[in-house]
Structure 1
Amino acid sequence: MHILSIRPDTRGGNTVARFDAELAPGIRAYDLKLVQARGGLRVFGPSIAGGSAVTFAPQVADALARLAMGEVARNDRTAD
């Protein structure tokens, strides 16, 4: 599993970034949202017609959140 691209969200609010990820070879998810929630970081998939287009088991969501935060931190350091 790895991050394909990440777009930090600087508009304020709870959304930290939006990102695209390859979950397994040949399986990609686009426009995932990394959110800072009360219980920590959460990852949400895009919506289609008001419903979830994709959901993740907690351990997968946690792994994606860690990967995405690592990319956000890495991008912040390269801006210096």
Structure 2
Amino acid sequence: MHILSIRPEPPGFGSTIARVDIALSDDVKIFNLKVSKRADGGFAVFAPNAMGGRVVTFSRPLVAEIASAAVAALMEPTPHDRNRG
């Protein structure tokens, strides 16, 4: 599993920290996942809904893996970030 793209959520969107696109494998890619911080300090990962229902859910170990990769990606300096490093 790896992060294809990550978009930090702007302030004012509650506990959501980012939207991410991931590749679970070469065969499965999931787009626009919402990564949120829970009150207990953990993370939650939600896929977009379709027609008012869930499209996919994730096991707790996979949520932890996705959230860990997302947080790591958010912490990486970008070429345009002169304040880090």
TM-score using structure 1 length: 0.90
- Name the structure 2 match of 1:66: 68
Which amino acid in structure 2 is aligned with residue 11 of structure 1? P
Q: Distance in 2 between matches of 1:51 and 1:11?
A: 27
Q: Distance in 2 between matches of 1:50 and 1:58?
A: 23
Q: Distance in 1 between matches of 2:25 and 2:39?
A: 29
What is the CA deviation profile of residues 7-47 of structure 1, one whole-angstrom value per residue up to 9, with x for unaligned ones?
Answer: 00013221100010001122000000010111311111111
Give the gaps of 5 or more residues in structure 2: none
The answer to whether 1:30 aligns with 2:31 is yes
Give the gaps of 5 or more residues in structure 1: none
3-state SS, counterpart of residue 24 of structure 1? coil
Identity %: 37
Alignment of 1:1-80 (within 5 A): 1-12=1-12, 13-39=14-40, 40-74=42-76, 77-78=77-78, 79=81, 80=83
Structure with more of its chain in strand, by fraction: 1
Count of aligned pairs between the two proteins: 78
3-state SS, counterpart of residue 74 of structure 2? helix
Structure with more of its chain in helix, by fraction: 1
3-state SS, counterpart of residue 56 of structure 1? coil
TM-score using structure 2 length: 0.85
